[in-house]
């Protein structure tokens, strides 16, 4: 029996392909191994730095507020507990940003999407800023005029009893 040409090609491809890398059974990997290193590195570092600042602020807050507890009478406890909380938070941050697959995939995808963003040029930003400033100044002027008209209207019907010219320009002018 003759083999068909497609069977021969499939067999030759499968014979020349390298075998998949063997995985060790029993989880011999280091607890500090980073999942997918080199991917999403900017977003991962930024997330870790921001979370680290929050952890540091939390440890500093704990070190100041721990004196209200009775067990914190010992100075070693007052020193060691915030340090332990910070170290635990730091490992938690490392675990989330470096090892938890769903979080790592999300951060990698986030960096990929950020690379696709069409960022505005300096000229476009400056033009948009000018438009916003002019619009706000115009709106402030319109609201000032409307406010003055309401003051004049309510003054004329007797609801308000103020001298608008004196209030706006001081006591030198009377009217």
- Give the 3-state DSSP-derived string for the chain, with helices as H, strands as E and coil as C: CCCCHHHHHHHHHHHHCCCCCCCCCCCCCCCCCCCCCCCCHHHHHHHHHHHHHHHHHHHHHHHHHHHHCHHHHCHHHHHHHHHHHHHHHHHHHHHHHHHCHHHHHHHHHHHHHHHHCCCCCHHHHHHHHHHHHHHHHHHHHHHHHHHHHHHHHHHHCCCCCCCHHHHHHCCCCCC
Share of the chain above pLDDT 90, in %: 31
- Domain ranges for the chain: 34-116, 122-169
Arithmetic mean of pLDDT, 117-146 = 95
- Is it the case that residue 173 has pLDDT exceeding 60? no
Q: Please give the pLDDT value at position 131.
A: 97
As a whole-number percent, the residues of the chain with pLDDT over 70 amount to: 77
The pTM of the full predicted model, rounded to 2 decimals, is 0.52
Average pLDDT, integer, range 81-101: 90
Nearest alpha carbon to residue 79 among 51, 57, 60: 60
Supply the pLDDT for residue 22: 46
Examine the pLDDT at 111 and tell me if it is beyond 80.
yes
Backbone angles phi, psi at 92, to 5 degrees: -60, -40
CA distances (Å), 45 to each of 42, 51, 52, 105, 138, in order? Answer: 5, 10, 10, 14, 43
The 10s digit of each residue's pLDDT in 16-47 is 555 555 444 444 567 777 778 888 788 888 99
Tens digit of each residue's pLDDT (9 = 90 or more) over 142-171: 999 999 888 888 888 888 777 777 777 676
């Amino acid at each position: 029996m003759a083999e068909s040409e497609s069977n021969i090609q499939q067999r030759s491809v499968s014979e020349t392909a390298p075998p998949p890398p063997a995985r060790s059974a029993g989880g011999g990997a280091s607890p500090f191994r980073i999942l997918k290193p080199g991917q999403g590195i900017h977003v991962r570092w930024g997330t870790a730095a921001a979370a680290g600042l929050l952890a540091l602020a939390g440890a500093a807050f704990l070190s100041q507020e721990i004196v209200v507890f009775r067990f914190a009478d010992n100075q070693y406890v007052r020193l060691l507990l915030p340090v332990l909380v910070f170290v635990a938070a730091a490992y938690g941050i490392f675990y989330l940003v470096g090892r938890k697959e769903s979080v790592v995939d999300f951060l990698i995808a986030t960096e990929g999407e950020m690379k696709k963003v069409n960022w505005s040029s300096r000229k476009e930003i400056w033009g948009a800023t000018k438009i916003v400033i002019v619009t706000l100044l115009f709106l402030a002027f319109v609201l000032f005029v409307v406010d003055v008209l309401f003051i004049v209207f309510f003054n004329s019907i007797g609801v308000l009893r103020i001298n608008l010219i004196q209030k706006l320009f001081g006591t030198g002018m009377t009217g």
